Amino acid sequence: MKRTRITAKMRIIQTSDITKNIKEMCIEANHFLSDDMKEVFNHAVEEEESPLGKQVLNQLKENLEIAGRDMIPICQDTGMAVIFINVGQDVHFDGGSLTEAVNEGVRQGYTEGYLRKSVVKDPIFRENTKDNTPAVIHYDIVPGDKVEITVAPKGFGSENMSRVFMLKPADGIEGVKEAILTAVRDAGPNACPPMVVGVGIGGTFEKCAELAKKALTRDLNEKSPLEYVRNLEAEMLEKINMLGIGPGGLGGTKTALAVNVETYPTHIAGLPVAINICCHVNRHSHRII
């Protein structure tokens, strides 16, 4: 008989624990913004030059207070659940399929948390699954015996305005800047500005898109270790805010709250760039189990 030998290093986690955490995180993310988001938001209200823009930002601040106080989702588009799970390689899951446990958490969170069910079973036939499943899950295997989960419900007003550009190496950093500005300019009022702009540079077609999504979940106070990336983020935030789109797209100096850039090695022939736009409701809940 084949036996699994459990070494001293192996940590057993019940999949029911994953379900419980995902459920709570879906509800939490849709009602409370993280502290880093609140902080940039408060700065934006102070700095906005347009009176109408300021009025919109104040409404959004009030909206956040009502959401948390009365447990009404910050936005009616409670998103498709995007979930990043970094599994420590010394972890063993007990209790059935991990993916099913994650989806069960989404199912419970969206049903019991009065969140909108926005997922259709087939992109063409479009029948609602009625429980917001399945989630989009990105797994990564990492060293250690912990499981790190990020739940990022993603609304589609801004998702629809996201772009992938397969630039040429000769386009260089100027090409990247132009791509970012093009995406934001085209998004305009549709993406519910002030937005958070996630950028992925490098990798392959799908890798840069995943990086851009991941960039949106990065704590806004956390800086890139690469100097050119930090400079790019600062320069693009300034340039985007010069576009004039403003809060709600009604004109103003706060079109973006932050620009987060992630990079990855790429092929000698390519320079993929993805721009994943998120509205001001940049939701993410983070836990380590």
Partner 1 sequence: MDRYIKAPISDEDAKSLKAGDYVYITGTIYTARDAAHKRMAEALADNQKLPIDMKNNIIYYMGPSPARQGRPIGSAGPTTASRMDKYAPDLLDLGLKGMIGKGKRSQAVKDAIIRNGAVYFAAVGGAGALLSQCIKKSTVIAYDDLGTEAIRELEVENFPVIVVIDSEGNNLYETAIKDYCKI
Interface residues toward partner 1, by CB under 8 A: 49-50, 52, 56, 59-60, 62-64, 66-67, 70-78, 114-118, 126, 128, 130, 155, 157, 160, 188-190, 192, 239, 242-246, 248-253, 279-281
- Nearest to partner 1 of 49, 219 (CB atom): 49
- Measured at the alpha carbon of residue 175, what is the angle toward residues 170 and 179, in degrees to the nearest 5? 145
CB atoms under 10 Å from CB of 286, counted, come to 16
Would you say 19 or 30 has its CB closer to partner 1? 30
- Least distance to partner 1 from the beta carbon of 36, Å? 17
203/284 with CB nearer partner 1: 284
Residue whose CB is less far from partner 1, 33 or 271:
33
**Could you tell me the smallest distance in angstroms from the CB atom of residue 125 to partner 1?**
12
Structure tokens at 232: 């790019």
Closest CA to 206 of 266, 282, 133, 286: 266
| Residue that is written with structure tokens 């836990």 in the block | 287
Determine the Cα–Cα distance for residues 91 and 94; give it in Å rounded to an integer.
Answer: 10
DSSP 120: B
Rg (CA), the chain: 20
Cα-based angle 157, 158, 162 (whole degrees, multiple of 5): 130
Closest approach of partner 1 to the CB of residue 149, in Å: 23
| Distance of closest approach, residue 217 Cβ to partner 1, in angstroms | 18
Give how far Cα 58 sits from Cα of 20, 41, 44, 100, 270, Å: 35, 10, 10, 41, 43
Judged by beta carbon, residue 83 or residue 115, the one nearer partner 1 is 115
Cβ 49 to partner 1 shortest distance, Å: 7
* 174 half-sphere exposure, CB direction, 13 A CA radius: 2
Using the minimum distance from each CB to partner 1, give the nearer residue, 76 or 221: 76
Cis amide leading into 272 (omega within 30) = no
Residue 74: DSSP 8-state = S
Least distance CB 112 / partner 1 (angstroms):
10
Q: Which is nearer to partner 1, 133 or 253 (CB)?
A: 253
- Rounded to a whole number of angstroms, the minimum distance from the CB of residue 167 to partner 1 is 21
